Amino acid sequence: MKNIIITLVLFIGISQYVSAQKHKSVIYGEVGLGFGQTLFFGNIQQELQAALGGSFDPAIGNNLMMGFYVVPERWKGLGVGSRIHGTFGTPVSGDAGDDYVFNYYNLALSLKYYPFSQQFNRGLYTRTSIGFGQMTTKRLNEEARQYIHQYAIGSTLTGSIGYTFPLKKSAISIEGHFEYSGRNGTVDKRGDGIRFTSGQIGGNIIVSF
CATH number of 91's domain: 2.40.160.20
Query: How would you write the pLDDT of the chain (209 residues) with one tens digit per residue?
Result: 554 455 455 545 545 554 545 557 799 999 999 999 999 999 999 888 888 888 899 999 999 999 999 999 899 999 999 999 999 999 999 887 899 999 999 999 999 999 999 999 999 999 999 999 999 999 987 666 778 888 999 999 999 999 999 998 899 999 999 999 999 987 655 556 788 999 999 999 999 99
- For the chain, what is the domain count? 1
**C-alpha separations of 81 from 16, 18, 75, 103, 149 in Å:** 8, 13, 14, 24, 33
List the domain range (segments joined by +) for residue 42. 2-208
Label residues 59-91 b or e (16+ Cβ within 10 Å = b). bebebbbebbbbbbeeeebbbbbbbbbbbebee
- DSSP label at residue 94: -
- DSSP label at residue 143: T
Q: Cα–Cα distance between 14 and 22 in angstroms, integer?
A: 13
Can you give the pTM of this predicted structure?
Answer: 0.83
